[in-house]
Chain A
């Protein structure tokens, strides 16, 4: 289980303390896939960072009884001067996994070939994304956090990612944040909407989508 109990988050800005959200309560059971919808700037990424533990809530608490990934589909943690393999070794060391066992998988999945031994700064953005996704699949978690759509590479690679994440790891819990209801419908069984500094949890997907449509229409 992952439990968010009465969580609030405020950021300090030049104009004083600004609320991102407050009074957030959410429970994620093992194997459950929940989608969190929100418009740009609603606080989706903040929410996922709080769940991952990378950031701490201003008040309330977050209980993690299963292992939780870092926010996936994120390529920024790469040091440009390091090679793809160096970056793999770094992530493996942090999570206590033997890197040498994972090189074959990385080579096979990322399709980066000899470039794995070249500095990441020489990669194109597509290559970086492939490396990022492949490295994300090296460490196993009970719950994966997915920030926005993982639009990685071309259609074929995209399908490969979907298979790796949603089929092979179909038994894991997932929290997916997106502004696209279609993506949430495709992968989630439940949804919640961040809006106006609150998290609105709906019993069914359709109700969540209706609510989200109304909120976006109101704002427009």
Chain B
């Protein structure tokens, strides 16, 4: 690249960051406002979800077929679901209410998605981290055996959620069906995603089919990082990486197409 090209790239990325930052601040204000705990809702809300599910599962003594404490099981499982499920939910139909912003040349469809994705992934991550610290400090769960592996699995799942969100968000601009179908799909995928079971406890046939779902691999990998030798995890990082890359590619292609056609209000 020529030096002029490099300078251009720097200038463009400065503008990009400026726009995403502006949208981020705007999104925080419109979503959480200035009342009561404001911005803290970003991670307090997902925390409430995870805590609620943990409590329910503890009371009902859910059968998960392992010796792991239910709290640890719910923490790793449900936090991961929130991560890949909330990102698409925030991106589907995100363009329509923001059409008027695109009167400003530098505000593009991708910026609106990015601002929402950063917030959503950030909220789920902070919630997971804070709850982990609380659970560990109170002795509900043991510290993760391999923190780096937990982070790695988390990032892979985030990559999946990110790609899925971009893809469905872009697709939803062309077809309202996406919004209608996403809710049942997300609901049905939850019990299949590995949040509520360990793959190892299932019959081989079920394992075979469930491992087609990329988030199962992410969840298993995170759990292995957390519990290490106490469980036998089933995953293929190559598979989830391949799936994510393919999905991201499709998402970017779709995004490019709708970006060209979007008409500011």
Residues on A facing B (Cβ under 8 Å): 11-12, 49, 52-56, 68, 70-71, 74, 76-77, 79, 81-82, 86, 89-91, 93-96
Contacts and interface: CB of A to CB of B under 8 A. Distances in A.
Nearest to B18: A96
Give the secondary structure class of A's interface. Answer: mixed
The 3 nearest A-B residue pairs measured at CB: A93-B22, A53-B105, A76-B100
B15 interface: yes
Given A81-B30, A82-B26, A86-B29, A54 B264 contact: yes
A11 B30 CA distance: 32
- Chain B interface residue number, banded: 20 to 34
B69 to A, nearest CB: 42
30 contacts: A12-B261, A49-B103, A49-B264, A52-B105, A54-B105, A55-B262, A55-B263, A55-B264, A56-B260, A70-B105, A76-B265, A79-B26, A81-B30, A82-B29, A82-B30, A86-B29, A90-B25, A93-B18, A93-B19, A93-B21, A93-B22, A94-B19, A94-B22, A94-B104, A94-B106, A94-B107, A95-B104, A95-B106, A96-B14, A96-B18
Nearest to A71: B103
A90 B22 CA distance: 6
Contact of B104 (A70, A82, A86): A70
Contacts of B30: 79, 81-82
Contacts of A76: 100, 103, 265
Interface of B: 14-15, 18-19, 21-22, 25-26, 29-30, 33, 100-107, 260-265
A139 to B, nearest CB: 10
B107 A52 contact: no
Nearest to B260: A56
A16 B100 CA distance: 25
Nearest to B259: A56
A90 B20 CA distance: 11
Given A55-B263, A94-B18, A70 B25 contact: no
Contacts of A52: 103, 105
Contacts of A11: 263
Given A49-B264, A93-B18, A77 B26 contact: no
Contacts of B101: 77
